[in-house]
Structure 1
Amino acid sequence: MGSDRCCTIILSLWVSIYFLLGSLAKKQDYLPPPTNLTFGMDGMFCLVFQWNPSENTANCSIKYSKILLRKNETPQERGPSTNLTAHVKKVDINKEILFTVQAECDNTNIVSNKTTLPVQIATGKGNPNISVRNFSCIWYYPEYVQCTWKPGRDAPPNVNYTLIYWTSVELSCSSNFSQPKQFHDLLPTGSSCSNYTYSNGIPTGCQFRFQNRIATLSKLVTAVSDWSKEVKPYLYYVGANSIAKLKPPVISAYRTPNDNINISWNEVYKDALHEVLVQKSNSEIHENYKDIAGLSIEIPNAATDVKYTVKVRVRLPSYSTLPGGHLWSDWSEEQTLQGVSNGRDISILLLLLIPAIIIVAAVILLIYMRRLKILIFPRVPDPGKVLSSDLQQWLKNGRTVYNEPSKEEICPISMLETPLTSPPME
């Protein structure tokens, strides 16, 4: 009995020690998640997330991995690092963002639970149904940016949209971020647009000067809101080069002696890409020549009897193309090259024209035949209608038709003579 009791006690001690060591091992393998995850804006170009470090219960080198999830987009994962902050650029913060941070021990499989922060506070308060829709901007390089939008679904007639913009050429966010800032606290730091366009009294667009160079890779942030904070602001972040629209080129075109067509144009931007559109008079299908890096192109074996119409447009070079591609410029003015007719065409044309001319001449002759007959055979006049009736009487009697007076009338003539001198007066 004594020996059995002793064995039972020893076995119980071993079981207790096993579970105690197991619980201690699990406790050492457990890593608490980061705490106090906060969000702020470092200017208008960077979002900054901060958190407190995890408690190092596993006695290891702790690193933090981050995941940024935007609605309807692929999650962006960032590799583990020891930093307690994360800077995020080029984010559409008009939609909700989920930011997740997780602690992990370096070179082990020990990880903490995830800490997630939903972010939809960047644009502040306001009615989202009054916020602008279909917002877009075009940079008419190198002069100005034109932004347009549509009013919100519930926008009142007296809504006064205001566009504020910021530009930057910095490629990295500031590392001296200290205190989160509210969106409306950043509005006074931007430049106000003043050249608005209106529709029914509501601002629907604005134009502002933007004369940066493409090589600077400038970034642009615009915000459309109102100073009363009744409109939920709409933020638009874009690389300026991705909305740049160059001026159309000036082109010239001519036929070469070897039956080719040479098309050339001026240089709008160095190393720009061009598209040439050719339309033939004998075909409804356009011929496109895309992504031409030079300043000319030659179309071989051009038919001499066909009219060619050509035009050219230009865009920025492909090495700086962002997702979605660059904007094409407007088309240049058209150049038309008339075709040269050959002898066969002239013969066919004459065969068609000669019968037509004969038919038209015959119709004209039929219409004016009566007049033509009068011209060829003039009418002989009737003497009886031209001369008096005395002619017929003269021809009938064979003598003169002069009627002598039956009685000669003699008028007496008296002559009165007047003396040349008067008798002297007594």
Structure 2
Amino acid sequence: VQQLPPHQISLLFCVFVFFTSTLCFPPGFIFNLVAPPQDLQITDPGLLGVLDIEWKPPPNVQTFNECTVKYKFEYRSAGDRDWKVIFTRKLKFRVGFDLSRTAEVRVQTLLEGTCTDDVEVQSDWIYATFQVPLPGKLESEVQNFHCIYHDWEYLKCTWQPGLLAPRGVRYGLYYWYEGLDHAVQCNDYIQDRGINIGCTLQNLSQAEYQDLSICVNGSAAATLLRPLYVTLRLHNLAKPSPPEQLVVSVSAVEELQVAWSPPAGGTPPHCLEYEVQLAQEEGEAEAAWASVSMQMETALTISRANKSHISCVRVRGRTNIFCADQGFWSDWTQECFSVARKEDKQLHILIPVILSLSSSLLTFMLIGQCKKRSPAGKPLHAPVGC
């Protein structure tokens, strides 16, 4: 043994103690320390896409008092590329799915602590799926469903009847979010020729930054219509009103100074970013808008190095990345502020002055000529007007 290299001696020693110790190998390398959770179940509480997922601990969890037992819970709707991940010690979760697709979930046990030499050990996964039976053909589902959260004050959703929807179809919108005891129906529908094609929902501040589950279903005589299920996040659908009190001025060094105020309404001012555009007209050419700034401040100074005659400024806003993943731009400010160049203004002022001085000088010269007399006291030939 003494003639063997040191690494072979270590290997022989590990083989010797293999059956009596875990000194040379991580605990999970020798045998499976922890089993996966048990009895993974998915149930539908009737909350428009929100499902309850629960499981039981692994059977041997009591033997690991010196370790922390956690679970890695992942879920998605069929067709999604990425899983949504939650690390938890709980045994039950309520999460939202698109019920028009199969709900997929999986859970594994995570074990770490003294009993694993502080190495995290993972169990195998357990899987479960859930599919809601959907009546009617896909073409009977409403089309072009679209929602905007205006000024963080009210949600307006619109849709069009499905391709296979018969005359006289009746649509209803239902919604639910955490805090409501049950799904609630819309009480302010938008109609077109007697058919509900939209809904306005008020007082949704409690639903901000959480899942809002919506279902639009329909009924018609002797026809099964497929319901539409969607899960929304209000802050990602926000559209503010245009900025207010836009003021543009020219400084003494030929810079445009632009200032405005955040829009009225419920949009938090700290959640807004702005785009400023400048149009410069040359001759009879149509003004071409160009973005000059993306910012969260409500003032901007723009250098005017070119020779354009008029600069026209407009501003719009949207929710910034600190408050939402995405959002809708507001409309542009209602009025385009045009500011003439300073030298042009001065020229317009000087022209009347020059004309006035020229006229006065001409009159003075004519009067001077009229006063000239001949030695005999007879007037010379005077200019016209004397």
TM range, normalised to the smaller chain?
Answer: 0.5 to 0.7
Query: What is aligned with 2:15?
Result: none
Query: What is aligned with 2:43?
Result: 39
Alignment of 1:21-420 (within 5 A): 31=35, 34-35=38-39, 37-41=41-45, 43=47, 46-56=50-60, 64-70=71-77, 71-79=79-87, 83-88=90-95, 90-103=96-109, 107=116, 114-121=125-132, 125-168=135-178, 189-198=183-192, 202-210=195-203, 212=205, 217=209, 220-226=212-218, 230-250=224-244, 251-268=246-263, 269-271=268-270, 272-282=272-282, 285-301=288-304, 303=306, 306-322=309-325, 325-333=326-334, 334-339=336-341, 340=344
Any conservation in 2 of the 1:249–1:314 contact (CA below 8 Å)?
yes
Counterparts in 2 of 1:313 and 1:159: CA distance versus 1, 3 Å = same
**Structure with the largest fraction of helix:** 1
Any conservation in 2 of the 1:34–1:101 contact (CA below 8 Å)?
no
Any conservation in 2 of the 1:63–1:82 contact (CA below 8 Å)?
yes
Write the deviation string for residues 269-320 of structure 1: whole angstroms up to 9, x where unpaired. Answer: 5232211110100276433133322222121235565111211111224311
In 1: Cα distance, 2:296 partner to 2:40 partner: 54
Counterparts in 2 of 1:100 and 1:202: CA distance versus 1, 3 Å = same
Helix, strand or coil for the counterpart of 2:304? coil
Q: Which amino acid aligns with 1:85?
A: K
The alignment-based identity, stated in percent, is: 20
Q: Which amino acid aligns with 1:337?
A: V
Please identify, of 248-257 and 325-334, the stretch whose mean Cα deviation from structure 2 is larger: 248-257
Question: Offset at 1:130?
Answer: 1.5
In 2: Cα distance, 1:316 partner to 1:56 partner: 50
In 2: Cα distance, 1:100 partner to 1:135 partner: 31
Any conservation in 1 of the 2:281–2:288 contact (CA below 8 Å)?
no
Write the deviation string for residues 33-55 of structure 1: whole angstroms up to 9, x where unpaired. Answer: 62352323485584321234444
Question: Offset at 1:244?
Answer: 1.4
Question: Offset at 1:112?
Answer: 6.0
Helix, strand or coil for the counterpart of 1:138? strand
In 2: Cα distance, 1:191 partner to 1:96 partner: 25
Q: Which amino acid aligns with 2:98?
A: D
**Structure with the largest fraction of strand:** 2
In 2: Cα distance, 1:247 partner to 1:274 partner: 12
Q: Which amino acid aligns with 1:335?
A: F
Q: Which sections of structure 2, spanning at least 5 residues, go unmatched?
A: 1-18, 20-29, 352-386
The TM-score with structure 1 as length reference comes to 0.58
Helix, strand or coil for the counterpart of 1:129? helix
Counterparts in 2 of 1:165 and 1:32: CA distance versus 1, 3 Å = closer
Helix, strand or coil for the counterpart of 1:148? strand
In 2: Cα distance, 1:267 partner to 1:58 partner: 58
Any conservation in 1 of the 2:172–2:185 contact (CA below 8 Å)?
no
Helix, strand or coil for the counterpart of 1:145? strand
Question: What root-mean-square deviation, in Å, do the aligned CA atoms of Structure 1 and Structure 2 show?
Answer: 4.0
Q: Which amino acid aligns with 1:260?
A: E
Counterparts in 2 of 1:28 and 1:167: CA distance versus 1, 3 Å = closer
Question: Offset at 1:74?
Answer: 0.8
In 1: Cα distance, 2:290 partner to 2:139 partner: 46
Helix, strand or coil for the counterpart of 2:235? helix
Q: Which amino acid aligns with 2:274?
A: H
Any conservation in 1 of the 2:186–2:200 contact (CA below 8 Å)?
no
Question: Offset at 1:234?
Answer: 1.7
Q: Which sections of structure 1, spanning at least 5 residues, go unmatched?
A: 1-17, 19-25, 171-185, 348-426
Helix, strand or coil for the counterpart of 2:80? coil
Counterparts in 2 of 1:112 and 1:308: CA distance versus 1, 3 Å = closer
Counterparts in 2 of 1:189 and 1:227: CA distance versus 1, 3 Å = farther
Write the deviation string for residues 372-392 of structure 1: whole angstroms up to 9, x where unpaired. Answer: xxxxxxxxxxxxxxxxxxxxx
Question: Offset at 1:164?
Answer: 2.0
Any conservation in 2 of the 1:33–1:102 contact (CA below 8 Å)?
yes
Structure 1: 4+ residue segments shifted above 4 A: 26-33, 42-46, 57-64, 103-106, 108-113, 123-127, 167-170, 216-219, 302-305
Question: Offset at 1:142?
Answer: 4.7
Which protein shows a greater Rg? 1
Counterparts in 2 of 1:243 and 1:28: CA distance versus 1, 3 Å = closer
In 2: Cα distance, 1:72 partner to 1:247 partner: 34
Query: What is aligned with 2:366?
Result: none
Counterparts in 2 of 1:168 and 1:307: CA distance versus 1, 3 Å = farther
